Amino acid sequence: MATVLSSKACVAQPLKTGTASARRQARVAVVSVSALAQRAEYIWHDGQEGQPIKGAVFNEMRSKTKVIQKPITNFDAAAFPDWSFDGSSTGQAEGKSSDCILRPVCVVPDPIRGGDDVLIMCDVLDPTGAPHPTNTRAKLEAIINDTVKAEAPLFGFEQEYTMLSKGGHVYGWPAGGFPAPQGPFYCGVGPESVYGRDLAEAHMDACIKAGLIISGINAEVMPGQWEFQIGPTGPLETGDQVMIARWLLHRLGEEFGIVSTFAPKPMKGDWNGTGAHTNYSTKSMREDGGMKAIEAAIERLSKCHPEHITQYGTGNEERLTGKHETCDINTFRYGVADRGSSIRIPLPVQLAGKGYLEDRRPAANVDPYTVVRLLIKNTLL
Ligand code: ADP
Ligand code: MN
Ligand code: MN
Ligand code: MN
Ligand code: MN
């Protein structure tokens, strides 16, 4: 006899009061989810730099949610379990051996969900537990020895980005056209000068609520382009916080219908590119007479320009042209207050005779762990 599929309505029975499940269900009706279980968003970098695919701009961050029944209420990454994901779906593994491991390395409060919920930046490991080739954090961690620690390096990362409408046109630009030429937009105010402030503000607030060391935001030279700064922070902290901040930008973009891209030159022609100036100091640079250490570091950096340039972001040659506040990609030049240099010494630093330097070369899509590693390796080791 053939099996007959059938269905019938299930009428909800009144809860038997007093049972554990009844009490739990009654609570569900009145309290927020985060009081019942903890949602941990496991975040990782897929090793790509934000690729336009079939006309749409996809970004470089991935994440998935783990529900933890008994909330872990400290922010110790080691207290959270490892997890795994399908690396064949993120370009990080072959289908036949597809599992990659996620290891929590940095835990912060989730500013969107609230309560006990957390965001967790993760290291990606291969199935043997070794760092995955896309895991640039492990490469940075490996060079941090006592010499580096003694110099307590600090970084300030100026993350520029460009807002796009879904489909790829710069956000706020006239349909199929261009706004007025550059000039009134940098740090501008008013509806004709600034596009997308709601997202930039929401993102800054989310970073603050997540406990990130964000030091400011500003509208950039090209309308629809913005910047936020992370720092001053230590080496690993800089990378982790930039990654979480990038994830938050994409996540909030879902609410606003705004795509954020880190492409180095999203608009060809007479429009500024998108960079990630990296400000850098060591203990010696910050002490009285630190200018000597700043100059010594620049002297060393001048000898390894190609090594930095090849790892400072794909497509950076379109941005580093010698125009639009950049030095051309094949030249290494430094100067005080010179925004056409590779390395700038800010005027207040020159006046104080101590402080930090600004590496203006990295593109916005650079891997922050990699910039930090190269600066440490080529000035301190
Ligand atoms: P710009 O004038 O280039 O736009 P910003 O104000 O955007 O400069 O960025 C400067 C960055 O430098 C900030 O992120 C700030 O936290 C960082 N910074 C300040 N002092 C130091 C320091 N001693 N070492 C490293 N970074 C620093
Ligand atoms: Mn699945
Ligand atoms: Mn800046
Ligand atoms: Mn800027
Ligand atoms: Mn700058």
The domain limits of the chain are 38-133, 146-380
Q: For residue range 256-300, list pLDDT tens digits in order.
A: 999 999 999 999 989 999 999 999 999 999 999 999 999 999 999
In Å, how far are 81, 171, 307 from 176, measured between CA atoms?
A: 49, 11, 39
Which of 183-187, 212-216, 355-359 is predicted with the least confidence, judged by mean pLDDT? 183-187
Superfamily of structural domain 38-133: Glutamine synthetase, N-terminal domain (3.10.20.70)
- Atom 2 (ligand 1) nearest CA: 346
CA distance 124 to 332: 34
**Is the CB of residue 286 below 6 angstroms from any atom belonging to ligand 1?**
yes
Q: How far is the CA of 230 from the centre of ligand 1 (A)?
A: 9
Closest ligand to C-alpha of residue 64 is: 2
Sheet containing strand 61-68, edge to edge, reads 61-68, 38-45, 118-125, 99-109, 83-86
Q: How far is the CA of 66 from the centre of ligand 2 (A)?
A: 13
CATH topology for the 146-380 domain = Creatine Kinase; Chain A, domain 2 (3.30.590)
38-133 and 146-380 agree in CATH topology = no
Average pLDDT over residues 298-327: 96
Q: For residue range 79-113, list pLDDT tens digits in order.
A: 999 999 988 888 888 877 788 999 999 999 999 99
23 has pLDDT over 80:
no
DSSP-assigned states of every residue in 310-347: TTS-TTGGGT-SS-SS---TT---EEET-TTSSEEE-H
Q: How far is the CA of 217 from the centre of ligand 1 (A)?
A: 12
Instruction: Report which ligand 1 atom has the smallest distance to the Cα of 358.
Output: 3
Say what the pLDDT of residue 316 is: 95
CA distance 269 to 272: 8
Whether the full predicted model's pTM is greater than 0.90, yes or no, is yes
Average pLDDT over residues 139-167: 96
CA distance 354 to 340: 22
Neighbours of ion ligand 3 (CB under 5 A): 158
**Is the CB of residue 155 below 6 angstroms from any atom belonging to ligand 1?**
yes
Instruction: Report which ligand 1 atom has the smallest distance to the Cα of 213.
Output: 16
Instruction: Report which ligand 1 atom has the smallest distance to the Cα of 218.
Output: 7
Q: How far is the CA of 227 from the centre of ligand 4 (A)?
A: 6
**Is the CB of residue 220 below 6 angstroms from any atom belonging to ligand 1?**
no
Q: How confident is the model at residue 52 (pLDDT cuts 50, 70, 90)?
A: low
**Is the CB of residue 359 below 6 angstroms from any atom belonging to ligand 1?**
no
**Is the CB of residue 247 below 6 angstroms from any atom belonging to ligand 1?**
no
CA 159 from chain centre, in angstroms, equals 8
Which of 312, 286, 309 lies closest to 297 in space, CA to CA?
286
Closest ligand to C-alpha of residue 85 is: 2
